[in-house]
Amino acid sequence: MTAVFAALAVVAAMLVRYAGSVVPFSLMPLIAMLAGGLLGPRLGAISMVVYILLGLIGVPVFASPPFGGPAYVLQPTFGFLPGFAGCAYVTGLLLSNRAGSGFSRYFLSMTAGIVVYYLVGLPYLYAILTFYLGKTVSVAQVLTLGFTPFIALDLVKAAMAAILAKAVYRRLKAYGLSTSPRPD
């Protein structure tokens, strides 16, 4: 299942690549939240790390040019990728004990994951723009570039991930299958 979520991350990145740069929409946050919610903290984070490593060794799996290779760490948005691994970990950790979990607990866990990837991605965006590309940007400009256009859709994705993860958990429980990922 870890490999499946790494593959889903590749597909999510490819959808953005072929949708054009006009559409500021990515399914990567949804995949990261589902990975954590369904696989648990360790395996969810590992699935995102596998995706990142595939790209860094040169497989063209990232959403924007150069699509892969070690030089991708110099892209302003690269910081969101490790943030997705952190998102999966935190989401999985918060959902590791699902006894009596309702939608609100799932949604708040997914929202905590969103906070994590913004806490990693936005400072990285600022650092690359300022120190590597030499552009003078303020914190407000970074928020305008990397937060404001995306947060509403990310909250919708958190609700979708909460609904999907809860439904899968409930379905597995109904069939008597192992439903609770180890808190690793």
**Range scoring the smallest mean pLDDT among 17-21, 29-33, 88-92:** 17-21
- Structural domains of the chain in order of their starting residue, each with its CATH number: 2-174 (1.10.1760.20)
117, 80 Cβ separation under 8 angstroms: yes
Q: Rounded distance, CA 12 to CA 74, Å?
A: 21
Average pLDDT along the chain: 90
- 118-167 pLDDT tens trace: 999 999 999 999 999 999 999 999 999 999 989 999 999 999 999 999 99
Q: What is each CA distance from 1 to 25, 39, 120, in whole angstroms?
A: 25, 7, 25
Confidence (pTM): 0.91
- Confidence class of residue 90 from pLDDT cuts 50, 70 and 90? very high
- Confidence class of residue 178 from pLDDT cuts 50, 70 and 90? low
* Identity of residue 122: L
Q: Rounded distance, CA 39 to CA 170, Å?
A: 14
